[in-house]
Amino acid sequence: MPVMLIEDIDLEPIMVKVMDKEEGLGWSLDFTRKVAAEYRKYLILCKENPDFPMVPSVFVDDFWHFHILDTLKYQDDCEKALGYFLHHFPYFGMRNKEDANNLKKAWEESRNLYESRFGKIDEEIWPKSRRCPNCGRRCKRVDSYAVWDRPRLAI
C-alpha cells in the first residue's frame, strides 16, 4: 500500500546529478525541472496502468536511469509511492521485428494515455524519435529475472 504520493517524491538529488556537467548530462535547471515534472507524470501513468509497458520519452528515460542508480532511494520511492518496485526493461524493441513493432505500438499508446490523462503532450520533452526508449512494468514474480528474454549476441 503506497504511503507517499508520487508528487511528494524528493527528486532534488536526482536533479543535481543530472545537471552535473561531469557525471550527469549537464542539463540546465529549467530543462531538468521540466523533465522531472514529466517523469512524475510517467510514474503516475505506470501506477495507473501497471500491466501496460509504458514507454517514456528519451529524456524521461534518461532521468529515470539516474533515479534508478540511487538504488536505495529508488527502491524506497517505488515502495512508498507505487506500492511495488517498478522495473526497467531496456531490451524492449531489440529482440526481433515483432518486438520492434510492439514497441512502436506501445510508444503510441503511451502517448495516447498521457494525453488522455494530462492533456497535450510537451513535444520538447516527448519528441518522436527513430527508436523509442524502454518500458516500465510492474514486477509480478519474485523470480522476475526469468520473466523477459534478453537479447543475445549473434556470433
Q: Rounded to an integer, what distance in angstroms lies between the CA atom of residue 110 and that of residue 129?
A: 14
Are residues 64 and 72 in contact, defined by beta-carbon separation less than 8 angstroms? no
The full length of the chain comes to 155
pLDDT, residue 42, reads: 97
Q: Rounded to an integer, what distance in angstroms lies between the CA atom of residue 66 and that of residue 56?
A: 14
Residue 51 buriedness (CB in 10 A; 0-12 / 13-18 / 19+) = exposed
Are residues 57 and 35 in contact, defined by beta-carbon separation less than 8 angstroms? no
Specify the 3-state DSSP secondary structure of 137.
Answer: strand
pLDDT, residue 1, reads: 65
C-alpha cell at 149: 528474454
pLDDT, residue 147, reads: 47
pLDDT, residue 150, reads: 57
pLDDT, residue 15, reads: 96
pLDDT, residue 127, reads: 84
pLDDT averages per 10-residue partition of the chain, 155 residues:
89 97 96 97 95 91 96 96 91 83 90 97 82 48 48 58
Closest CA to 17 of 60, 87, 58, 67: 67
pLDDT, residue 91, reads: 81
Q: Rounded to an integer, what distance in angstroms lies between the CA atom of residue 71 and that of residue 13?
A: 13
